[in-house]
A and B are shown apart, each in its own frame.
Chain A
């Protein structure tokens, strides 16, 4: 016992120990930056061009959104293979309601999320209460909802959708502050500069620094925070610069996309749920040691059930975003999305045996996949080679992870 104590207090004392035990998180962030730099170089500056950044966000938003739900599923010790099919199915239902039945788009959005949630509830019932392995249940769901999508759409594209619905995906936030600011600054920085978006970027960065500084100081006071100041400051500075930088880039194109706002809000929400809410704690406890969690009076079935309901609703939201972006529902929408989503979770550090994984890791994991997808497409690399590269990166990430773990 005394040896472990001393080993850990050694970690407290010097930054090297902390660095070593948290290598994975910094490594992940470093890899993302490295991959971005690589593609920025290979594409001759196209990757970080404002229009491409916008594209990157639009293309990745639904992967990130679903990865948030998938993280909870995987942490709880399960898997959901059906999310790609739910994306297609919900898109098809929404399209049918809007195009064939001429329903207004707002209730359609609500109904679609409910449909997604119900699908999740159905699968969650079989996993949590009927105790069928989630791999099997959702493999079934994957086939069923892919088939139903084709049947509903009769194998055809259904669209187009009302403008307002499309703007979920293709719209940008309105610009309130530009006119007065333009009057002050003149057109020096460009007449189309979206000041609102720029400001949101700056405010976001300020908020990030403010809240994390407060948390860090508090943690130090309790001796629960062991991150050395240099690392803490460096990490947050990078994040802040990234936020302001992207704010600037996006502002000089068309501003912040609506989906970015949705995605950002959901990321914050799920960070809160996983770190601060009792239900989040229960999911991690269950995934970490199911028997022990049950013996403390946790209702394991209900918690697992809820992770699936949540996943279904998020997949439904992703289905709407995909449909809005394509301006039509297609039988193949969402095909093989589950692979990108699951890969994002594992690249982001979730453990296949449950109990381990962080929201920030998964978001970064999703962007690793996204940047690779986008960068390779710009370079004109064939889709089949893209699969090979993504597969190798997934394997490498998990391999390095396991190697790290065995070494410590």
Chain B
């Protein structure tokens, strides 16, 4: 069998660094080929070379596709041949319908007049293929992330895709949506469509991939044939980091003190739909030196709970009491919440966490400008020292504190946001998906920071969709579902099965 795609000896140099060094990749028609590697290993760069974002001539090596040498000058060249990339950040227009999005740019039209009957008919066909039960006229903004992902795939199918490239497709999906997506990839495999899957979720890769190519520091480490050997996460990690990762979670001896933060009967209404309760009477507490986790499925209301607590950054008609160190706290605005000692690390660091165009220094001091200024005048020297201190303490890899946040990798961006909140010196930190989309090495560093925070007597509340992570770093877990806390357990009694069972039990009770 000849390969559908063969990339031979690809090297790509940016000023001052070799991003890719002699990388080889071969993908057969109708196979699922996973690519994994730590952030910065060169995965996205390789895909940009393949799709023509970096045009022919800006890299070395050959791309052979369908048996011919290809020299793509841009994305449109590769798309014409059926190579379609679906990026991590979805590229749909929120206020247009599914059909309009699918055919955006190549609408079925005669003389510039769109044939809507044709567009809707084909949209229905495509939606049926991806298993999405929505009307073609439904607006994107009304769909969840999982369904939007399916629309993206339908859009790719509309372009006669032969090689589908998915960059972290399940990063923001819940378990059942992820499973559905992976099943779809298997269906494509049966139809002869090849997929390249980039993911940090190693268990998914192990479950679905035919081959796994591992990149490390811009070179191909190996291509694992998943049918020839038993694939385990440990096996992939070893290959990615080049060593055995025996401890994925740093060890910690908890020293737990008095209650630091507590909310009682917290209720929040949806900001746009009056009367619809999103948070339905939640009570929880966090003690000094304790790491508390909230487990739950996507849409359980965890982020909404955290943001409503953090100065009513979400929702309306917020009711309930909050206590910080035993005293009732006024959390009616973000300023008051910050002043009261709360910090909220957002799950969406690019849009809500960072000023991307500003440098590391100004991002770090933003939440506590008073700490580096006097009478409203910033002490340049002091600010620089603060920024340098966090840069070395949290090991933020950058050229200096004046590097723009935009140019940092995900893990380092997250460390900048963390630094910002550490410098604000809160007593309770709410960390919403603190390790989403960052590589294993950086994850470990963030876990270490969380441990240090707890050790210094702060309370930490962690929201995460990765259950092993919660089980690995927390002392106590709450399980949340549909706006309620439905279970609470110390971590030594908890397991993934027990958490899922609690959620399912409640689903059953609701019906």
Query: Which residues, 181 to 237 on A, are CB-close (under 8 Å) to B?
Result: 218, 222-224, 226
Which A residues have a C-beta under 8 Å from some C-beta of B?
A: 1-12, 17, 218, 222-224, 226, 272, 276-279, 281-282, 284-285, 288-289, 291-299, 355-356
A1 and B14 form a contact (CB under 8 A):
no
Chain B residues near A284: list those with CB within 8 A: 355, 358, 362
The distance in angstroms between the C-alpha atoms of A223 and B420, with both chains bound, is 21
Interface size class, chain B: 35 or more
Chain B residues near A278: list those with CB within 8 A: 369-370, 373, 376-378
Residue-by-residue, is B260-281 near A (CB-CB < 8 Å gives 1, otherwise 0)?
A: 0000000000000000000000
Please tell me if B231 contacts chain A, counting CB pairs below 8 Å. Answer: no
Q: Which residue of B lies closest to A354 (CB)?
A: B357
Which residue of A10, A276, A297 contacts B334 across the interface (Cβ within 8 Å)?
A297
Query: Which residues, 131 to 167 on B, are CB-close (under 8 Å) to A?
Result: none
Chain B residues near A7: list those with CB within 8 A: 14-17, 399, 407
Chain A residues near B352: list those with CB within 8 A: 291-292, 295
Please tell me if B346 contacts chain A, counting CB pairs below 8 Å. Answer: yes
The distance in angstroms between the C-alpha atoms of A9 and B40, with both chains bound, is 17
Which residue of B45, B355, B356 contacts A293 across the interface (Cβ within 8 Å)?
B355
Return A287 CB to nearest CB of chain B, in Å: 9
Residue-by-residue, is B215-226 near A (CB-CB < 8 Å gives 1, otherwise 0)?
A: 001000000000
B403 and A8 form a contact (CB under 8 A):
yes
Chain B residues near A355: list those with CB within 8 A: 355, 357-358
Chain A residues near B40: list those with CB within 8 A: 1-3
- Name the residue among A3, A218, A279, A293 with the largest chain B CB count within 10 angstroms: A3
Which residue of B355, B369, B398, B407 contacts A292 across the interface (Cβ within 8 Å)?
B355
* 5 interchain pairs, CB-CB under 8 A: A2-B397, A8-B399, A296-B334, A297-B338, A355-B355
A289 and B378 form a contact (CB under 8 A):
no
Which residue of A10, A288, A289 contacts B16 across the interface (Cβ within 8 Å)?
A10
- Name the residue among A276, A278, A291, A298 with the largest chain B CB count within 10 angstroms: A278
The distance in angstroms between the C-alpha atoms of A223 and B356, with both chains bound, is 21
Which residue of B354, B373, B409 contacts A1 across the interface (Cβ within 8 Å)?
B409
Chain A residues near B354: list those with CB within 8 A: 289, 292
Q: Which residue of A lies closest to B20 (CB)?
A: A3
Return B142 CB to nearest CB of chain A, in Å: 21
B39 and A1 form a contact (CB under 8 A):
yes
Report, nearest first, the 4 A-B pairs whose CB atoms are least far apart.
A1-B409, A8-B399, A10-B16, A6-B17
Which residue of B39, B355, B399 contacts A5 across the interface (Cβ within 8 Å)?
B399
A5 and B398 form a contact (CB under 8 A):
yes
Chain B residues near A218: list those with CB within 8 A: 381
B412 and A285 form a contact (CB under 8 A):
no
A296 and B420 form a contact (CB under 8 A):
yes
The distance in angstroms between the C-alpha atoms of A88 and B318, with both chains bound, is 48
Chain A residues near B424: list those with CB within 8 A: 296
Given A277-B378, A285-B358, A296-B367, verify A223-B335 contact (CB < 8 Å): no
A288 and B356 form a contact (CB under 8 A):
yes
The distance in angstroms between the C-alpha atoms of A7 and B13, with both chains bound, is 10
B402 and A224 form a contact (CB under 8 A):
yes
A1 and B397 form a contact (CB under 8 A):
yes
Residue-by-residue, is B298-328 near A (CB-CB < 8 Å gives 1, otherwise 0)?
A: 0000000000001101000000000000000
Please tell me if B380 contacts chain A, counting CB pairs below 8 Å. Answer: yes
Which residue of A1, A10, A223, A281 contacts B15 across the interface (Cβ within 8 Å)?
A10
